[in-house]
């Protein structure tokens, strides 16, 4: 009997862990996009007043997302180096987000202050849209994924008996 309970418990735990992993993937996607939005806002603020180089602004930012931290590091290495284009790694990013991110990093510093602000506005709109979608997904589906994982795990455990 205790073995049966253990199997059901194990299956439910696996289900919860899977649901939790799904929720985490939604969360890191949201955190990444939220970080990009914060970065764009900070760049815009800086260009409007202090007009420091993008590298100094990015260096001073506190970034939660590990992937974004990595991408910012890659951009900083590019800006201080001699390559023609920034080499931005994809990590867990979806094809669309990755493409937008690459375009965003490639666009930094290519024009005068006003053109850069206009361009950042355009990227800001796009990323805010992506972030809002990711936030909805994370908040609505994240909890559901954990619950569903538990139920599926429990169901599988019971069926396995």
Interface contacts to other proteins, rule CB under 8 A: 47, 51-55, 78-80, 82, 108-113, 115-116
- Decide whether 79 or 154 has the Cβ nearer to other proteins: 79
Q: Which is nearer to other proteins, 57 or 146 (CB)?
A: 57
Cβ-based nearer residue to other proteins, 58 or 97 = 58
State which residue, 21 or 48, has the beta carbon closest to other proteins. 48
Please provide the distance, in angstroms rounded to a whole number, between the alpha carbons at the two ends of the chain: 10
Smallest gap from Cβ 8 to other proteins, in A, equals 58
With beta carbons less than 8 A apart as the criterion, state whether 12 and 158 touch.
no
Nearer to other proteins, 109 or 129 (CB): 109
Cα within 13 Å of Cα(123), Cβ side = 27
* C-alpha–C-alpha distance, residues 28 and 1, integer Å: 40
- Cβ atoms of residues 19 and 149 within 8 Å: yes
DSSP secondary-structure letter at 85?
S
Q: How far is the CB of 118 from other proteins (least distance, A)?
A: 11
Considering the complex, what minimum distance in angstroms separates the CB of residue 34 from other proteins? 24
Q: How far is the CB of 41 from other proteins (least distance, A)?
A: 16
Structure-token pair, residue 152:
């599926």
**Minimum Å distance from CB 117 to other proteins?**
9
d(CA 32, CA 25): 11
């Amino acid at each position: 009997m205790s073995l049966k309970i253990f199997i059901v418990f194990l299956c439910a735990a696996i289900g919860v862990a899977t649901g939790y992993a799904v929720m985490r993937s939604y969360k890191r996607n949201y955190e990444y996009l939220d970080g990009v939005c914060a970065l764009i806002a900070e760049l815009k603020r800086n260009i409007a007043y202090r007009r420091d180089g993008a590298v100094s602004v990015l260096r001073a930012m506190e970034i939660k997302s590990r992937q974004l931290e990595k991408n910012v590091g890659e951009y900083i290495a590019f800006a201080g180096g001699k390559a023609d284009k920034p080499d931005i790694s994809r990590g867990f990013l979806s094809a669309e987000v990755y493409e937008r991110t690459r375009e965003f990093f490639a666009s930094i510093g290519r024009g005068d202050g006003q053109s850069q602000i206009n361009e950042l506005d355009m990227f800001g709109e796009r990323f805010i849209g992506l972030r809002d979608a990711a936030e909805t997904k994370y908040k609505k589906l994240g909890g559901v994924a954990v619950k569903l994982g538990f139920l599926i795990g429990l169901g599988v455990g019971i069926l396995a008996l």
